[in-house]
Amino acid sequence: MTASDETSVARICGIRAKNEGADVELSILTGEEKRQLVVTMEQYLDLHIRKGEELSPERLEQLEDAAAFCGALRCGESLLAYAPSPALALSRKIVQHGHKRAAADAAACELLRKGLINEPAMIRRDVNRCVKKYWGSRRIRSYLWTCGYGKEALDTLDDLLLDVEFSEVCAELVRKKNHGVPRDPEERQKLKAKLIRYGYTPEEIRQAFVLLTE
């Protein structure tokens, strides 16, 4: 190995605790260039990192991936402290803050595993909000999908909507917005189109009109 090759070898020249011991900062020296990577304490222990260790390209990439995950994880925690979010939506937000997609996905999954994301409670809350807005089941399903809920949470939706009488909710919406069913056929058809956009099925709309005319 030549002298220039020796100076280009990456090694860990410093290790110190960070964020009150939750993370570990690694000082990496490559030739005359020094940079820092921050990993979680759990990663530090699992990867058996030691000061003075010479790093192969594969080992350096492993540490860089660990640092990317750590950064995405801390970003996700900060975002959750500001507002709760489903895992998929949180991953998108982490990416928007400059982190790589793979690290963001892994961080969101880890936060979900640790219980910092409570999707069952969140989806119940969002369903209640949607019903209070007089939305039909189709619109609710579409909205929750765009919110970033995972398959497991969305699979509970049928049970959450089981006790909702959407024909009655639809009738209440018509009372609130239109004060009843219009007699004019053209206006009646316009109202049906509007209710379909709210997420109601034709059968739910028909039943709602029956309730109102009765």
Is the same domain home to 163 and 61?
no
Task: Quote the crossing angle between the two packed helices 87-96 and 101-113, to the nearest 10°.
Answer: 140
Determine what percent of the chain is predicted with pLDDT higher than 70.
Answer: 96
- Residue 62 in this model has a pLDDT that exceeds 60: yes
Give the pLDDT mean for 192-197. Answer: 95
51, 84, 113: which is the final residue of a domain?
A: 113
pLDDT at 8: 67
Is the same domain home to 106 and 7?
yes
pLDDT at 148: 86
Is the same domain home to 105 and 24?
yes
Give the pLDDT mean for 184-208. Answer: 94
Task: Quote the crossing angle between the two packed helices 202-213 and 185-197, to the nearest 10°.
Answer: 130
φ, ψ dihedrals at 56, nearest 5°: -70, 165
- The predicted model scores a pTM of 0.76
Is the same domain home to 13 and 91?
yes
CATH of the domain at 91: 1.10.10.10
Q: Count the Cβ atoms, other than its own, within 10 Å of residue 126.
A: 18
Is the same domain home to 181 and 151?
yes
Q: What is the pLDDT of residues 92-132, one digit of tens each?
A: 999 999 999 999 999 999 999 999 999 989 999 999 999 99
65, 81, 113: which is the final residue of a domain?
A: 113
Is the same domain home to 72 and 128?
no
Is the same domain home to 199 and 101?
no
pLDDT at 9: 85
Q: What total of structural domains would you count in the chain?
A: 2
Q: Domain range holding 70?
A: 3-113
Is the same domain home to 59 and 7?
yes
CA distance 97 to 76: 10
Is the same domain home to 78 and 103?
yes
Report which of residues 184 and 41 the model is more confident about: 41
- Residue 1 in this model has a pLDDT that exceeds 70: no
Q: What is the pLDDT of residues 144-175, one digit of tens each?
A: 999 988 888 889 999 999 999 999 999 999 99
CA distance 63 to 75: 18
- Banded model confidence at residue 2, pLDDT cuts 50, 70, 90: very low
